[in-house]
Amino acid sequence: MRFTFDTNILLYTVVEQDQDKRRIALDLLRRARTRDCIITLQTLSEMFRALTGKLKVQVAEAATVVHQWRTAMPVVAADETCLVEAMDAVAGHHLSFWDALLWATAKRAGCRLLLSEDGADGRTLGGVTLVNPFTSPRSPVLLEALPLELD
């Protein structure tokens, strides 16, 4: 099952404010590298902006972090079809534009799962299910995409 991550999941891997979420995010992303996972150009762009803006990380350090993620997974960019679908999703499903564009890009890339804290956990739109990976118990669709490893 192909899936992708929202920016917040990636940010938790480098920001140490919430250790529980950081641990979960690191585990998810470590396991994702061996699965059918893509990352959107939008997610990487938002990550760079959050690191250099709100989080005050030096530009060179933020660029290094983004480059590491860029080389870890295939990167997919939005196109005009994604733009149109995102605008339709804003109008028809009351998503914020940036969340809608991420969803539309994930959909175009063949993702069935979008991991994010934002949005309605478990909501499926256009074949893409939004899952909050920090909820307990873990979503069955999340466990299908990223089975827990047994020690």
Between CA 141 and CA 129 the distance in angstroms is: 8
Q: Are 76 and 105 in contact (CB under 8 A)?
A: yes
Q: Are 5 and 29 in contact (CB under 8 A)?
A: yes
The domain over range 3-145 is classified in CATH as 3.40.50.1010: yes
- Domain extents in the chain: 3-145
Give, for all 151 residues of the chain, the pLDDT tens digit. 999 999 999 999 888 778 999 999 998 888 888 889 999 999 999 999 999 999 999 999 999 999 999 999 999 999 999 999 999 999 999 899 999 999 999 999 999 999 998 877 888 999 999 999 988 777 888 888 887 764 3
Sheet of 113-115: strand order equals: 3-5, 113-115, 128-131, 124-125
Q: Is 96 left (phi over 0), alpha (psi -120 to 50) or beta?
A: beta
